Amino acid sequence: MNKELNLDFSGGPKSWFDLWHTHFDWDGKGNKNWETRKMYLGQILETFDQLKQRLQTYPRDFQLWIMIDENDSGQDCVYIHTKNPNADNFPMKVTADSKNEIKDKNLKQFVDTMDFERVRVKTSDGDIYYLFDKGTGISLV
């Protein structure tokens, strides 16, 4: 992984994830240049794949997804979520907007090449896309 992720996948009593996530482009450099954003999205995909592998033997129910903010590369991230002692918020569910199209041409082409389920959620700041693999963990829908 490009980032050092010291996560506990043992399934022990302290092994849980309360909307754990990591960003790759905190400074929003991808907002200025598509090639830069594409690089960060590639890092997110690589991390997603590695987390997916690690979670194959995780003994508890979990959710794993990528969140992409159409307007802000700095908000793009990958999440892991499980039942946890902090809140009764598992499983997380998202309600899809009736339109699921990505407006940004480059982002749409990039996302359309991936084999993910996609849910668009419209917010006051713009559209957010949740990408997940229906065969991995508990679905977001």
Q: pLDDT digit string (tens) for 84-98?
A: 999 999 999 998 777
Q: Within 13 A of 98's CA, how many CA atoms are on the CB side?
A: 0
- Tokens linked to 18: 């309360």
Q: In the prediction, which pLDDT does 101 show?
A: 85
What is the tens place of the pLDDT at every residue in 38-68? Answer: 999 999 999 999 999 999 999 999 999 999 9
What is the tens place of the pLDDT at every residue in 9-31? Answer: 999 888 999 999 999 999 999 99
> Is it the case that residue 1 has pLDDT exceeding 60?
no
> Is it the case that residue 99 has pLDDT exceeding 90?
no
Q: In the prediction, which pLDDT does 3 show?
A: 58
Range 93-111 average pLDDT: 88
For residue 84, what is the DSSP state?
-
> Is it the case that residue 100 has pLDDT exceeding 90?
no
User: Can you tell me the distance from the alpha carbon of 137 to that of 33, in angstroms, rounded to the nearest whole number?
Assistant: 33
> Is it the case that residue 4 has pLDDT exceeding 80?
no
The alpha carbon torsion through 41, 104, 141, 139 (nearest 10 deg) reads -20
User: Where in the chain are the domains?
Assistant: 20-132
Q: In the prediction, which pLDDT does 98 show?
A: 74
CB 25, CB 73: distance < 8 Å: yes
